[in-house]
A = this chain, B = another copy of it.
Amino acid sequence: MSESFQRETRQRRAIRRVLLDSSRPLTPEEVQELGQRHVPGLGLATVYRNVKLLADEGWLAQVELPGSPVRYELAERPHHHHFVCHACDQAFDVHGCPPKVESMAPEGFQVESHDIILYGLCPTCT
């Protein structure tokens, strides 16, 4: 019943470091590759376990963009959505949010959260 205690391991620290240092959301595989610069033997299973743990703790947010593998980014950021560029396939943050998004649901549906994804061309690819 006590919350499980979190140990400070080299691999866990490496994983946090990698995500702190990244300016974009990373896939588990990317986290592993980058993390191995700090901890050479870093296993993919360990990345998955920790990334999931950190997401459950609320430290990371899962970014699931249709058609791409799941990515993770720091959760600290304020509510935002993503813009995906068709050309370079990168994801960008989009701030703000239409006021009545959640009132779109039909009668009887309880909305708890929402995602908005914009697609198009980023300034660089225009």
Footprint of B on A, CB under 8 Å? 64-67, 81, 83, 86, 92, 94-102, 104-123, 126
> Which residue of B64, B67, B96, B109 contacts A83 across the interface (Cβ within 8 Å)?
B109
Q: Write out the residue numbers on chain B whose beta carbons fall within 8 Å of the beta carbon of A101.
A: 98, 116, 118
Q: Is the CB of A110 within 8 A of B121?
A: yes
Would B83 and A94 count as touching, CB distance under 8 A? no
| Number of identical monomers bound together in the oligomeric complex | 2
Q: Which residue of chain B has its CB nearest to the CB of A125?
A: B110
Chain B residues lying within 8 Å of A107, measured Cβ to Cβ, are 123
A78 to B101: give the CA distance in the assembly, Å.
18
User: A92 CA to B123 CA in the complex, in Å?
Assistant: 34
A99-B102 contact in complex given A92-B109, A109-B83, A119-B113, C-beta closer than 8 Å: no
21 residue pairs from A and B, CB less than 8 Å apart: A64-B67, A65-B66, A66-B115, A83-B105, A83-B111, A94-B106, A95-B106, A102-B118, A105-B118, A107-B123, A108-B123, A109-B118, A110-B126, A112-B119, A112-B120, A112-B121, A113-B118, A113-B120, A114-B119, A115-B116, A115-B119
